[in-house]
């Protein structure tokens, strides 16, 4: 077997994994920051419930959120039917559904990173900004967000990595369709189920390891840069 | 012109404060925990009172009875904190212009370059807050607050975190702001000499109440304020005129009224005005000039007022400036000291603390003596 030659199916799995992970990161950003901020800063009646709900995917077997997604967002699901009728959007058994599944699984990691970062910000800096004439929104955009940036970055990298490794929820919700929902972990799983597919599986395993290492390397470099930036500017 | 009447109940802490003053700079003095910072939070709007009214320069910022409550960012009340609170992710230039760039051109009152010049911030503009010393950070914080064009500037113990040397560096800038910008200020401190270095108009706060306000000397002499200032320790703040220093002594000479004072060496040109602090309890009194004693400073003066409280006597003595002296009531009775008596005030050179100096030659006379208390 040629280690440098990729079949169309293998290439598709690799590119799909990256596409799904990138989209997962993109759509997690705003809800993740908003939820992290809400949990870090606000007290409201349903807060413990929201906190628990956000963290559920972290503790449930991934197949459970996947099944719930299928029930709710699938073509027969309440939300799924509504989306189909109102916007013509279908999430069932396509790559968009895979994005939703991995975003749901990655969400707690994103929220935790953002919440921690926001909790560490000195709120007195925000008070100072408001006495200088900044509205609440401006304080958030010009003080809170930049100071939380390293934590938000960490959250995004965690979401990206989690998405690359997503298996259970994805296969339950959107199945294992080549070129559509068969990401690297699903492709590896498929090859291990076929007689004589071990070598191909191993090839993808090596590829996964390289991809994970690359992601870790990039995240490490970014975090170092953020930490350096913070160290050179933090107020003592 | 500032006017407020505020009521706040938070847990066991109760604050009731009302004030109406035309003074351009008011010093708010009181022990730690008396509610000074809480009062400032109420004024800026970051804390809401149960009942209250705030009017600054005829503009009503809060009136709970009429349902008026201008939000923090629209109150135009500037704030300088003890710990600077510079934005760590912005350099000095962007910290300074943070409030300025939020103002409409018509609302702007100062130009960035003018404030940079006033506070001598030029060399610091590209630096990050972390790279600055405590005193430099406070100067940037002052500039940042001024550039936001406040109608009232609140200073919450802005020098409390600084040592005497850094205080001496900041003080001239505070005086400059007072003299050159005309922005009304409320200066909060538990160290009275800081307040008196800026203003004679003080308000005294204790246990959530404003006890009194008005001229410092009158307020501090009030029956119900005296116990407070005595427990905090009274200090005199004197403005002296530096004389050419004798070469060999290692000390400096200065003029207090027409009398000479020997003080620890001051690194400043002759003719400079210097501010020094002398604790009232470090001064001894004698009927005649004492010979054969190591104490160099013996200022001659006349007793102007005597107040006694709790076996302690507080004497106000005119030595060409007003000097406050604290002795025991027993000593006073033994010496038979009365108003109008002529006395010598004795204090050691080492009892004098230098607070700051300013190049100033136009005024020959020392400023009026001021009473001061510190922690």
Checking if the pLDDT of A234 tops 50, the result is no
The model's confidence at residue B166, banded by pLDDT at 50, 70 and 90, is confident
Domain count of chain A?
Answer: 1
Number of inter-chain CB pairs under 8 A, A vs B:
79
What secondary structure letter does DSSP report for A106?
Answer: H
> Is A198 inside a domain boundary?
no
In this predicted structure, which of A27-41, B333-347, B361-375 has the lowest mean pLDDT?
Answer: B361-375
Residues B75-84, mean pLDDT to the nearest whole number: 90
Residue B158 has pLDDT above 90, yes or no: no
Give the CA angle between residues B264, B268, B270 to the nearest 5°.
95
Residue in this structure with the two tokens 């930049």, named with its chain if needed: A146
Q: What Cα–Cα distance (Å) separates residue B275 from each residue in A52, B161, B368?
A: 62, 20, 12
Q: Is residue A3 in a domain?
A: no
Contact A42/B at CB under 8 A: no
User: A131–B78: do the CB atoms touch at under 8 Å?
Assistant: yes
Q: Hey, what domains does chain B have and what are their CATH numbers?
A: 2-229 (3.40.50.300), 235-373 (2.40.50.100)
B residues 35-94 lying closer than 8 A (beta carbon) to A: 44, 46, 71-79, 81, 83-90
What six digits make up the tokens of A64? 């459970």
Does residue A24 sit within a domain? yes
**pLDDT tens-digit map of A31-58:** 999 999 999 998 899 899 999 999 999 8
Smallest Cα distance from B172 to chain A, Å: 24
User: A133, B79: Cβ pair inside 8 Å?
Assistant: no
Place of tokens 């007022």: B305
Shortest Cα–Cα distance, B100 to chain A (Å) = 8
Residue A93 lies in a domain: yes
Chain B residues touching residue A230 (CB < 8 angstroms): 88
Three-state DSSP state, B285: strand
Q: Is residue A120 part of a domain?
A: yes
For A134-189, write each residue's pLDDT tens digit.
999 999 999 999 999 888 888 888 888 889 889 889 898 888 888 888 988 998 99
Q: Is B144 on the interface with A (CB under 8 A)?
A: yes
CATH of the domain at A88: 1.10.3720.10
- Nearest CB partner across the interface for B86, out of A135, A142, A235: A235
pLDDT at position B295 over 60: yes
- Interface residue B98 vs chain A (CB under 8 A): yes
Q: Which two tokens stand for residue A174?
A: 């959107």
Report the C-alpha gap between B124 and B140 in whole angstroms. 9
Flag whether residue B102 sits within 8 Å of chain A, measured between CB atoms: yes
Of residues B81, B89, B102, nearest to A128 (C-beta):
B81
Say if residue B161 is exposed, middle or buried (CB neighbours under 10 Å; 0-12, 13-18, 19+): middle
Would the pLDDT of A123 be above 60? Answer: yes
pLDDT at residue A27, rounded to an integer:
93
Q: What is the pLDDT of residue B233?
A: 67
Quote the pLDDT of residue B371: 40
The answer to whether B85 contacts A236, with C-beta atoms less than 8 Å apart, is no
Which band of pLDDT confidence, cut at 50, 70 and 90, is reported for residue A5? confident
Position B343 scores a pLDDT of 94
For residue A137, what is the nearest residue in chain B, using CA coordinates? Answer: B73
In angstroms, the CA A56 to CA A44 distance is: 20
CA distance B296 to A110: 71
User: Per the CB < 8 Å rule, is A232 touching B128?
Assistant: yes
Q: How many CB atoms lie within 10 A of CB A124?
A: 12
A contact residues 63-122, partner B, Cβ 8 Å cutoff: 122
Of all residues in chain B, what percent carry a pLDDT higher than 70?
Answer: 92
* DSSP secondary structure code for residue B244 in this structure: P
CB B216 within 8 A of CB B196: yes
* Domain membership flag for residue A1: no
Other beta carbons within 10 Å of A228 = 10
B247 burial class (0-12, 13-18, 19+ CB within 10 angstroms)? exposed
Contact A131 B44 (CB under 8 A): yes
Residue B34: Cβ-neighbour burial (10 angstroms; 0-12, 13-18, 19+): buried
A133 contacts B103? CB cut-off 8 A? yes
Min Cα–Cα distance to chain A from B74, Å: 6
Mean confidence (pLDDT) of chain A: 87
Please give the Cα distance from B84 to A215 (Å, whole number).
39
Name which of A128, A146, A229 is nearest B85 (Cβ-Cβ): A128
Residues of B in contact with A234 (CB under 8 A): 88, 130
Chain B interface includes A61 (CB < 8 A):
no
Residue A111's domain comprises 15-182
Per-residue model confidence as pLDDT tens digits over B297-327: 999 999 988 888 778 888 889 998 888 888 8
The CA distance from B75 to B69, in Å, is 9
In a domain, A209, yes or no: no
Query: Are B128 and A142 within 8 A, CB to CB?
Result: no
Strands B152-156 and B13-21 come out as unpaired
Q: Which residue has the tokens 């992290």?
A: A36
Distance (Å, whole) CA B211 – CA B196? 18
Residue A226 lies in a domain: no
């Amino acid at each position: 077997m040629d280690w440098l030659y990729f079949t169309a199916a293998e290439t598709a799995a690799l590119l799909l994994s990256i596409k799904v992970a990138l989209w997962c990161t993109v759509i997690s950003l705003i809800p993740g920051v908003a939820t992290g901020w809400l949990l870090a800063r606000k007290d409201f009646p349903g807060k413990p419930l929201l906190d628990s709900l956000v963290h559920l995917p972290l503790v449930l077997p991934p197949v459970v959120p996947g099944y719930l997604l299928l029930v709710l967002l699938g073509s027969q699901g309440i939300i799924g039917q509504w989306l189909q009728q109102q916007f013509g959007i279908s999430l069932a058994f396509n790559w968009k559904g895979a994005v939703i599944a991995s975003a749901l699984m990655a969400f707690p990691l994103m929220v935790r990173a953002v919440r921690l970062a926001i909790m560490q910000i000195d709120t007195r800096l925000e008070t100072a900004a408001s006495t200088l004439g900044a509205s609440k929104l401006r304080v958030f955009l010009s003080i809170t967000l930049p100071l939380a940036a390293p934590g938000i970055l960490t959250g995004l990298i965690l979401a990206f990595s989690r998405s690359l490794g997503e298996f259970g929820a994805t296969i339950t919700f959107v199945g294992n369709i080549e070129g559509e929902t068969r990401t690297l972990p699903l492709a590896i799983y498929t090859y291990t189920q076929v007689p004589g597919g071990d070598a191909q599986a191993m090839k993808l395993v090596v590829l996964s390891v390289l991809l994970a290492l690359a992601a870790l390397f990039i995240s490490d470099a970014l975090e170092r840069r953020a930490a350096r930036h913070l160290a050179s500017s933090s107020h003592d | 012109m500032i006017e407020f009447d505020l009521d706040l109940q938070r847990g066991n802490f109760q604050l009731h404060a009302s004030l109406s003053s035309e003074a351009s700079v008011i010093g708010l003095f009181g022990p730690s925990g008396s509610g000074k910072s809480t009062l400032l939070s109420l004024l800026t709007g970051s804390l809401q009172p149960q009942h209250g009214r705030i009017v600054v320069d005829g503009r009503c910022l809060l009136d709970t009875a009429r349902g008026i409550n201008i939000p923090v960012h629209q109150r135009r009340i500037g704030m300088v904190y003890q710990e600077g609170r510079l934005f760590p992710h912005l350099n000095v230039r962007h910290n300074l212009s943070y409030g300025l760039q939020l103002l409409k051109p018509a609302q702007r009152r100062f130009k960035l370059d003018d404030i940079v010049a006033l506070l001598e911030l030029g060399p610091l503009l590209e630096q990050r807050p972390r790279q600055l010393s405590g005193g430099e950070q406070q100067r940037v914080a002052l500039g940042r607050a001024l550039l936001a064009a406040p109608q009232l500037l609140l200073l919450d113990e802005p020098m409390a975190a600084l040592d005497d040397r850094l205080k001496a560096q900041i003080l001239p800038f505070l005086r400059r702001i007072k003299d050159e910008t005309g922005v009304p200020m409320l200066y909060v401190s538990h160290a009275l000499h800081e307040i008196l270095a800026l203003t004679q108009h003080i308000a005294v706060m204790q246990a959530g109440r404003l006890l009194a306000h008005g001229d410092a000397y009158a307020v501090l002499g009030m029956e119900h304020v005296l116990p407070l200032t005595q427990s905090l320790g009274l200090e005199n703040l004197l403005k002296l005129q530096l004389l050419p220093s004798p070469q060999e002594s290692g000390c400096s000479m200065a003029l207090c009224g027409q009398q000479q004072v020997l003080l620890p060496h001051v690194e400043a040109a002759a003719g400079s005005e210097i501010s020094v602090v002398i604790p009232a309890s470090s001064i001894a009194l004698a009927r005649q000039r004492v010979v054969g004693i190591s104490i160099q400073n013996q200022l001659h003066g006349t007793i102007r007022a005597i107040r006694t409280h709790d076996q302690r006597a507080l004497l106000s003595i005119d030595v060409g400036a007003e000097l406050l002296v604290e002795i025991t009531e027993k000593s006073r009775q033994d010496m038979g000291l009365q108003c109008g008596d002529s006395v010598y005030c004795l204090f050691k050179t080492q009892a004098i603390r230098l607070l700051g100096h300013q190049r100033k030659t136009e005024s020959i006379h020392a400023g009026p003596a001021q009473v001061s208390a510190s922690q």
